[in-house]
Amino acid sequence: MSSSNSGNWWKHLALYGITLGLLMASLQYSKLHILTYGQSEKWYIIVIAILFAAVGIWAGMRWNRKPATSKPDTPSPVLPKDQILAQLGITPRELEVLEQIAEGKSNQEIAESLFVSLNTVKTHLSNIFAKLDAQRRTQAIQKAKSLGLLP
Amino acid sequence: MSSSNSGNWWKHLALYGITLGLLMASLQYSKLHILTYGQSEKWYIIVIAILFAAVGIWAGMRWNRKPATSKPDTPSPVLPKDQILAQLGITPRELEVLEQIAEGKSNQEIAESLFVSLNTVKTHLSNIFAKLDAQRRTQAIQKAKSLGLLP
DNA sequence: CCCAAAATCACCCAAAAGTATGAAGCCTGA
DNA sequence: TCAGGCTTCATACTTTTGGGTGATTTTGGG
């Protein structure tokens, strides 16, 4: 209840909100004039509530939707791999590193597998990230795959 | 939700409703003088609006969350995805996280997209790694794909 | 031979990711 | 009602990654 309860309070809030809405609606229908507002003001409030609920639903669905349109990437690129590599300026060694991160290897493992130092792998990776415009290895993998550089 | 929840949520709802009703009634009686002023009515309407906006957002996310987990694309795994998931003990939420790391997102981004804390994402990931026998996110992606859990 | 690109490595620092442990609230099914 | 799985979150700690800079070697053409 004190400070770090952030998990579920808003669920309750939501329930309260829904309940409030139902309550107000039923109050309207039953003509129990408990509230001291005039008729027009009551309806005004209800309209506002419904309106905002609708807007909220729309916003919520909007906000949480994943970009489903990103599926039709480049499955059959017209350009051959070599050309894409050249275009991006990715060198053969960098591609090797790229392939290995896609296999789930750590930098250390890649270094050992290529017989180079960890620092070298990092350097290659930095260059790859710059050329693919990625911030993370997972992102680089994703981009490389959609470019057809990786299976 | 998977259709019917037998009968618990509406009980809470009813309870909240009753409580709220009593609360509102007492408010009416004790603060009649305030409510006669136009200013407090405005305030009340604003609260209603915010409340319903919150409810709407919540509902929208809720309705949008379930379809997110059920993916229509089933390549051709020998076992249905559900069965593999059950076998490994991977929960729906964990799968959601798994899907997002495969999209190249950072833990922080996933946390924001799922409206949970960073710590929660890490916990889910730890569990995923254990269940997939992976040490790294890239490895988990790899394994999940070869199992048909991811496209 | 000389140059330039590629490959290699080192440090340092910051940020992100991963590990371990404990715990609370919710939901479901027995 | 009670146990157990799921989800959530926290704290503390270690490891891995990523970013920036600079430097040395290799190598292949011109």
Q: Are residues B139 and B87 in the same domain?
A: yes
Its domain, for residue B7, covers 3-63
Q: What is the mean pLDDT of residues B101-117?
A: 94
Q: What is the pLDDT of residue B107?
A: 96
Query: What digits encode the pLDDT tens for the residues A10-27?
Result: 444 555 555 566 655 555
Q: What is the pLDDT of residue A151?
A: 87
Kindly state whether B23 is in contact with chain A, defined as any CB-CB distance less than 8 angstroms. Answer: no
| Chain B nearest C-alpha distance from A131 (Å) | 16
Q: Determine, yes or no, domain membership for A23.
A: yes
A49 — pLDDT class (breaks 50, 70, 90): low
Task: Tell me the C-alpha distance between A10 and A134, whole Å.
Answer: 36
Q: Determine, yes or no, domain membership for A76.
A: no
Backbone phi, then psi, for B134, in 5-degree steps?
-120, 155
- With the C-alpha atoms ordered B36, B38, B40, B44, is the resulting torsion angle positive or negative? positive
CB under 8 Å to B149, separation ≥6 — which residues? B81, B84, B85, B90, B95, B98
Q: Are residues A121 and A92 in the same domain?
A: yes
Which of A126-130, B31-35, B70-74 ranks highest by mean pLDDT?
Answer: A126-130
Q: Determine, yes or no, domain membership for A43.
A: yes
Q: What is the mean pLDDT of residues B75-94?
A: 80
CA A97 / C1′ C10 distance in Å = 20
Any idea what the CATH number is for the domain that residue A97 is in?
Answer: 1.10.10.10
Q: Determine, yes or no, domain membership for A74.
A: no
Q: Are residues B37 and B94 in the same domain?
A: no
Q: Find the angle CA(B3)-CA(B5)-CA(B10) to the nearest 5 degrees.
A: 120
What is the number of other CB atoms lying within 10 angstroms of the CB of residue B111?
A: 20
Q: Are residues B58 and B86 in the same domain?
A: no
Distances in Å between the alpha carbon of A21 and those of A25, A48, B16, B41, B79?
A: 6, 11, 12, 17, 46
Q: Is nucleic acid strand C under 7 Å from B124's C-beta?
A: no
- Give percent above pLDDT 90 in chain B: 39
DSSP-H helix ranges across A31-115: 39-64, 81-88, 92-102, 107-114
Q: Are residues A9 and A47 in the same domain?
A: yes
Q: Determine, yes or no, domain membership for B75.
A: no
Q: Are residues B91 and B132 in the same domain?
A: yes
Q: Determine, yes or no, domain membership for B56.
A: yes
Q: Are residues B136 and B85 in the same domain?
A: yes
CA A103 / C1′ C3 distance in Å = 37
CB under 8 Å to A63, separation ≥6 — which residues? B57, B60, B61
Residues 43-62 of A with CB under 7 A from strand D: none
Q: What is the pLDDT of residue B102?
A: 96
Higher-confidence residue: B147 or A3? B147
Q: Determine, yes or no, domain membership for B119.
A: yes
- Asked if the model's pLDDT at residue A119 lies above 70, the reply is yes
User: Count of domains in chain B?
Assistant: 2
Q: Determine, yes or no, domain membership for A71.
A: no
Query: What digits encode the pLDDT tens for the residues A83-92?
Result: 888 888 999 9
pTM tops 0.85, yes or no: no
Q: What is the pLDDT of residue B66?
A: 42
Instruction: Pick the closest to residue B148 from B90, B74, B67, B87 (CA basis).
Output: B74
Reduced to 3 states (helix: H, G, I; strand: E, B; else coil), residue B68 is: helix
Query: What digits encode the pLDDT tens for the residues A94-112?
Result: 999 999 999 999 999 999 9
